[in-house]
């Protein structure tokens, strides 16, 4: 599976952005999908995940209530709607797909396929 993330950019605090992740190579309809982010000088951290049964979603405490992960299986796409953005949300955002069940989903080690990352910068 190849993943291509897009939609990052510069936004003022309080604004919104929608990230997209296009999957190719095979369908991701029956795989878990997720988003991680990595700020400068920090480790990659979990943001959100969605199970292959699309009703189950998981969020980091820092983004709960502001971010929404969604998927369109017909288009082989995953999205991250980000609202009420804060300067501390500034990071490179990565989409991920398919994971090892032996690892906790919040660990980057759990995920098999990764996109190349898209930069989100939130100005104060």
Which SS3 state, helix, strand or coil, does residue 101 take?
Answer: coil
Report the C-alpha dihedral over residues 101, 60, 49, 9, rounded to 10 degrees. Answer: -140
Integer Cα distance of 79 and 82 in angstroms: 10
pLDDT at 49 over 90: yes
Integer Cα distance of 111 and 100 in angstroms: 6
Mean predicted confidence (pLDDT) in 54-65: 90
Report residue 15's pLDDT band, with 50, 70 and 90 as the boundaries.
very high
pLDDT score of 54: 58
Give 72-106 pLDDT, tens digit per residue: 999 999 999 999 999 999 999 999 999 888 889 99
Q: Which of 21, 107, 111 is nearest to 72 (CA)?
A: 21
């Amino acid at each position: 599976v190849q993943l291509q993330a897009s939609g990052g950019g510069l936004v003022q605090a309080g604004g919104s952005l929608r990230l997209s992740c296009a999957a190719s190579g095979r369908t991701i309809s029956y795989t878990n999908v997720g988003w991680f982010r990595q700020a400068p000088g920090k480790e990659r951290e979990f943001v959100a995940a969605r199970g292959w049964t699309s009703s189950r979603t998981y969020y980091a405490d820092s983004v709960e209530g502001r971010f929404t992960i969604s998927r369109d299986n017909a288009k082989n796409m995953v999205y991250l709607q980000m609202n009420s953005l804060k300067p501390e949300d500034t990071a490179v955002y990565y989409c991920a797909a398919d994971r090892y069940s032996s690892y906790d989903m919040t660990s980057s080690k759990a995920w098999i396929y990764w996109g190349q990352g898209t930069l989100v910068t939130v100005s104060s």
